[in-house]
Amino acid sequence: MDRIRIRGGRPLSGEIKVGGAKNAALPLMAAGMLTDDRLILSNVPRLADIATMTLLLEQHGLAVEPLTEDGRMLSIGGGIANTEAPYDIVRKMRASILVLGPLLARAGEARVSLPGGCSIGTRPVDLHLKGLEQMGARFDLDGGYVDGKVDGRLHGARIVFPFVSVGATENLLMAAALAEGETVLANAAREPEIGDLASCLVAMGARIDGIGTDKLVIQGVDQLHAAEHDIIPDRIETGSYACAAAISGGSVFLRNARLEHLGATVRILREAGVEIAQEDGGLMVTRLNGLHGADVMTEPYPGFPTDMQAQFMALMSVAEGASMVTETIFENRFMHVPELNRMGARINVHGASAIVRGVPCLQGAPVMATDLRASLSLILAGLAARGETVVNRVYHLDRGYEAVEQKLAACGADIERIS
């Protein structure tokens, strides 16, 4: 199993190209199920989760074909030949549940395994099922599978989410595009990835109002058609490499990064002493002086994202003063804390909050990655630590970060992957 070895203490300097957003690419790939015509996606990231979604779509009968040698442009299309999403594929990635809405909208039935993925907390699919039930679907749970059926077509409904759910918003948005009549999604998620999906659906012929707001109004159409769509850059990758520049005391240009997608992340990083400036083609991130403690609470967009919590905690572990990090989205998302403390961090967890007291320097140590974002937080800590850090179980990392060791090494980090 691969590991990543870092020898810390080198300020980063140079340029990192931010890739396409994983959390946009996965629902966009699922949207390819909504038509027999071709959906062409560009700026596709090369990640393990993309490969998993490719396998899932192919076993449903679709053709997923790379149009360029590097695989960054994909053609998705074809009829649905199989309506079962099997456990062996779905267990690898929670985003697999996103095929449920398209299957019901196109084929009138679906058998989808309950999803797996990172063990950072229970992410129930209740909101997906309840919303689809309001649109006319019927469900049974059988042996770890969700069995769904529709008599005829799904129909429009007014659906009010009791709390913001990105996945449920995406699933119901795709289903509503082909439903009969009008669907209203109230208290919908507003993440940039939702807007990206909605924009792609509109290009395919969907009728959607309210893009970018918490109220989406969809007028169902009989069919969608071919389209081409360029995936937005990954805002979590942007934030992660901004933390890398800051924790190393360096200066990095993040090509393709978009300031308007960062929400509260940019405000919090600036509060902590990180300079972020919009320039032509991307963002320049610099730490000119010391880091200062800052408090954060994870919230739905445009609040501070839960997917940046672990990276920000690593940054605060070497900041002057104390910080409080409160996690409101996932209940098990502090599993990186013991590993950071092994490196000399001073972090105490009290329920849903962690108190981080900054230390002058971390010490290299062997550590274990527990989930995708925790993997990157340990690499960040290794960049700032004295001595050698070895991060084990980096298969989590490969689900959401492409060639992270190569990108950091190109900016002067002493980092390598050990097979």
Instruction: Note whether 132 and 164 are within 8 A (CB).
Output: no
Does the annotation count 118 as an active-site position? yes
What are 350's two structure tokens? 């009290």
Q: How far apart are CA 228 and CA 74, in angstroms?
A: 10
**β-sheet bridge partners, residue 227:** 39
Q: How far apart are CA 323 and CA 136, in angstroms?
A: 48
Neighbours of 261 (CB within 10 A): 23
Indicate which residue of 118, 200, 243, 411 is catalytic. Answer: 118
Instruction: Note whether 137 and 154 are within 8 A (CB).
Output: yes
* H, E, C per residue of the chain: CCEEEEECCCCCEEEEECCECHHHHHHHHHHHHHCCCCEEEECCCCCHHHHHHHHHHHHCCCEEEECCCCCCEEEEECCCCCCEECHHHHCCCHHHHHHHHHHHHHHCEEEEECCCCCCCCCCCCHHHHHHHHHCCEEEEEECCEEEEEECCCCECCEEECCCCCHHHHHHHHHHHHCCECEEEEECCCCCHHHHHHHHHHHHCCCEEECCCCCEEEEECCCCCCCEEEECCECHHHHHHHHHHHHHHCCEEEEECCCHHHCCHHHHHHHHCCCEEEEECCEEEEECCCCCECCCEEECCCCCECHHHHHHHHHHHCCCECEEEEECCCCCCCCCCHHHHHHCCCEEEEECCEEEEECCCCCECCEEECCCHHHHHHHHHHHHHCECEEEEECCCCHHHCCCCHHHHHHCCCCEEEEEC
Q: Is it true that the peptide bond before 302 is cis, omega within 30 degrees of 0?
A: yes
Q: How far apart are CA 294 and CA 124, in angstroms?
A: 31
Active site residues: 118
